[in-house]
């Protein structure tokens, strides 16, 4: 059974703090192994990637077969049913429409001193997307990672997706095609991350790597960070539902279970103003857990990390939610817009009972790659911003330099940086001489 807490009972603060700090992930230390794999790929290039793929994925490749050919992709995509294909296209269209609004504007202006200032955004030149194999091979994640890069204007977009024993996921290939991916390599693990970061004879390096992966992939991303940009290292998924008594307990139970079924380390929490409703939801979860396909996983998650918290009012619910800073937050209350105003930290918010979190995983439009483990306090979900960068622009006129240059020289001198000061002084002297 999950924890059942009342926010107004003695000892709640301690119990809540324990819930917040529960260590939900056993970080396997694979760093030495990963360091060796990266070094091997840097040294031996394609040969290392091919050897490691043979070893880990039981698949024998050559430099020529590292990437799927267009014909192979077309053949795989042809296996996708019409219904799945239509669903993927609708999802891609909606995700693209949402992310297209994220492109920020360039700015340029002239200030009172006559200085022309501004900035300009531009895409990274090449991005690499990692797609896990096996159970976690999600076509929806391909769309969520590749479409923001495509919208950003990234010129070259590649995917690495392991195909253990040569088995690929047609939906992943179709999603990649829809999202404008140029090349798909059938490699995975730390060796794929190393190949994308450093390049091999066959694989041209990229500038940014995103996408989820296992402990080896995560460790490799940490190691290549700096050489290339990376997205966040995501932890187990989480959902927080704030619900009043006027909800169907079974709907809320299914929403909680839709995170719990991801991972035994996932966390699902209900905060409710009604203790009887909280009890009904717990009963509905238990009932669903008798038949759910992934009941072993979802049951362990709910048992070990699930919680029902009863509060006096929605203000108290919002305050607790802000301490949790949840990845996903459902506001199943009569006036979700009013409650939204009280929410300061959350990755994604779903308003009202007709907005199950699962709609956001697939087709709502917002990204499903979101900050976990309370990091919504300081970070955001994946977006177009992850694939662009800003160049700041400054242009002085002689008049502008005369107006603000002396103060800059003053500060340079105060910091004992003489050459900085002289680079200003030499120009100011010329201006003064010309008067």
Beta carbon of residue 239, minimum distance to a copy of itself (angstroms, whole number): 10
**Can you count the helices (H) and strands (E) in the chain?**
17, 14
Residue 262 CB, shortest distance to a copy of itself, in Å, is 8
| 267 marked as part of a ligand binding site | no
237 in a known ligand binding site: yes
From 327, 330, 357, 409, active-site residue:
327
**127 class by beta-carbon count within 10 Å (0-12 exposed, 13-18 middle, 19+ buried):** buried
Q: How far is CA 46 from CA 38, 115, 192, 261, in A?
A: 12, 51, 11, 37
Stretch that binds a copy of itself, among 1-9, 54-62, 313-321, 379-387 (CB under 8 A): 379-387
Site membership for a copy of itself, residue 39 (CB under 8 A): no
Residue among 220, 171, 185 nearest 62 (CA)? 185
411 binds a copy of itself (CB under 8 A): yes
Q: Segment near a copy of itself (CB under 8 A), from 1-9, 35-43, 55-63, 409-417?
A: 409-417
R_g over Cα of the chain: 26
Name which position in 138, 185, 198, 305 contacts a copy of itself (CB under 8 A).
138
The 142-181 site mask, x for binding a copy of itself (CB under 8 A), equals: -----------------------------x----------
Asked whether position 390 contacts a copy of itself by CB under 8 A, the answer is: yes
Give the contact letters, 319-358, x = binds to a copy of itself (CB under 8 A), - = no. Answer: -----------------x---x--xxxxxxxxxxxxxxxx
Minimum CB distance to a copy of itself, residue 263 (Å): 11
Residue 368 annotated in active site: no
Take residue 88 and report the two structure tokens written for it.
């993927």
Q: Label residues 187-214 b or e (16+ Cβ within 10 Å = b).
A: bbbbbbbbbbbbebebbebbbbbbbbbb
Is 435 one of the annotated active-site residues of the chain?
Answer: no
Mark 304-339 as b/e (b = at least 16 C-beta within 10 Å). bbbbbbbbeebebbbebbbebbbbbbbbbbeebeeb
99 annotated as belonging to a binding site for a ligand: no
CB 152 within 8 A of CB 123: yes
Q: Which of 62, 290, 392, 432 binds a copy of itself (CB under 8 A)?
A: 392
Read off φ and ψ for residue 9, nearest 5 degrees.
-95, 155
Count of residues in contact with a copy of itself, rule CB under 8 A: 122
Tokens of 406: 């002396």
CA 221 to chain centre: 13
Residue 373 binding a copy of itself, by CB under 8 A: yes
| 394 within 8 A of 122, measured Cβ to Cβ | no
Of residues 226-285, which lie at the interface with a copy of itself (CB under 8 A)?
226, 228-229, 233, 248, 250-251, 254-255, 257-258, 260-262
Does an H or E element contain 351, and which? strand 348-351
Structure tokens at 25: 């992930």
Based on the shown chain and the rule CB under 8 A, indicate whether residue 33 belongs to the binding site for a copy of itself. Answer: no
134 binds a copy of itself (CB under 8 A): no
User: Please, what is the minimum distance in Å from the beta carbon of residue 80 to a copy of itself?
Assistant: 9
CA of residue 70 relative to chain centroid, distance: 29
Terminus-to-terminus CA distance in the chain, angstroms? Answer: 84
Residue 433 in contact with a copy of itself, rule: CB under 8 A:
no
Closest Cα partner for 282 from 269, 273, 291?
269
**Contact yes or no for 224/197 (Cβ under 8 A):** yes
**Interface residue with a copy of itself, options 52, 124, 151, 217 (CB under 8 A):** 124
- Contact status: 31 vs a copy of itself (CB under 8 A): no
Using CB under 8 A, which of the segments 9-17, 144-152, 178-186, 407-415 binds a copy of itself? Answer: 407-415
Question: C-beta of 3: minimal distance to a copy of itself in Å?
Answer: 20
Binding region for a copy of itself (CB under 8 A) out of 28-36, 43-51, 85-93, 311-319: 85-93
Enzyme catalytic residues: 327-328
Q: Binding site residues for NAD(+), as ranges?
A: 130, 191, 214
């Amino acid at each position: 059974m999950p924890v059942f807490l009342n926010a107004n009972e003695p000892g709640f603060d301690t119990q809540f703090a324990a819930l917040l700090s529960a260590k939900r992930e056993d970080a396997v230390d694979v760093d030495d192994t990963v360091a060796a794999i990266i070094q091997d790929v840097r040294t031996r290039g394609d040969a290392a990637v091919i050897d490691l793929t043979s070893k880990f994925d039981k698949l024998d490749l050559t430099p020529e077969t590292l990437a799927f050919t267009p014909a192979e992709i077309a053949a795989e995509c042809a296996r996708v049913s019409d219904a799945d294909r239509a669903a993927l296209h609708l999802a891609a269209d909606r995700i693209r429409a949402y992310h297209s609004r994220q492109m920020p504007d360039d700015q340029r202006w002239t200030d009172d001193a006559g200085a022309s200032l501004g900035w300009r955004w531009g895409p990274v030149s090449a991005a690499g997307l990692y797609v896990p194999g096996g159970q976690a091979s999600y076509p929806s994640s391909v769309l969520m990672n590749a479409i923001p890069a495509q919208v950003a204007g990234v010129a070259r977009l590649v995917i690495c997706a392991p195909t253990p024993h040569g088995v690929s996921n047609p939906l992943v290939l179709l999603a990649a095609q829809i999202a404008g991916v140029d090349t798909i390599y059938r490699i995975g693990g730390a060796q794929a991350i190393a190949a994308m970061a450093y390049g091999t004879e066959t694989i041209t390096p990229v500038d940014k790597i995103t996408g989820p992966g296992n402990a080896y992939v995560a460790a490799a991303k940490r190691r290549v960070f700096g050489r290339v940009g990376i997205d966040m290292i995501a932890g187990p998924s989480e959902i927080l539902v704030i619900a009043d008594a006027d909800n169907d307990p079974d709907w809320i139970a299914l929403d909680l279970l839709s995170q719990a079924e991801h991972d035994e380390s996932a966390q699902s929490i209900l905060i409710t103003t009604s203790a009887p409703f909280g009890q009904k939801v717990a009963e509905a979860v238990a009932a669903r857990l008798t038949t759910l396909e992934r009941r072993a996983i979802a049951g362990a998650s709910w048992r070990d990390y699930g919680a029902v918290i009863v509060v006096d009012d929605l203000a108290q619910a919002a305050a607790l939610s802000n301490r949790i800073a949840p990845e996903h937050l459902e506001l199943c209350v009569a006036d979700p817009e009013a409650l939204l105003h009280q929410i300061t930290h959350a990755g994604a918010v779903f308003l009202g009972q007709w907005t199950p979190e699962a709609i956001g995983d697939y087709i709502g439009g917002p990204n499903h790659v979101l900050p976990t483990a309370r990091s919504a306090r300081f970070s955001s979900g994946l977006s177009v911003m992850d694939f662009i960068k800003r160049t700041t622009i400054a242009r002085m006129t002689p008049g502008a330099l005369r107006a603000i240059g002396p103060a800059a020289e003053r500060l340079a001198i105060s910091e004992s940086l003489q050459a900085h000061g002289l680079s200003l002084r030499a120009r100011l002297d010329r201006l003064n001489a010309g008067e």
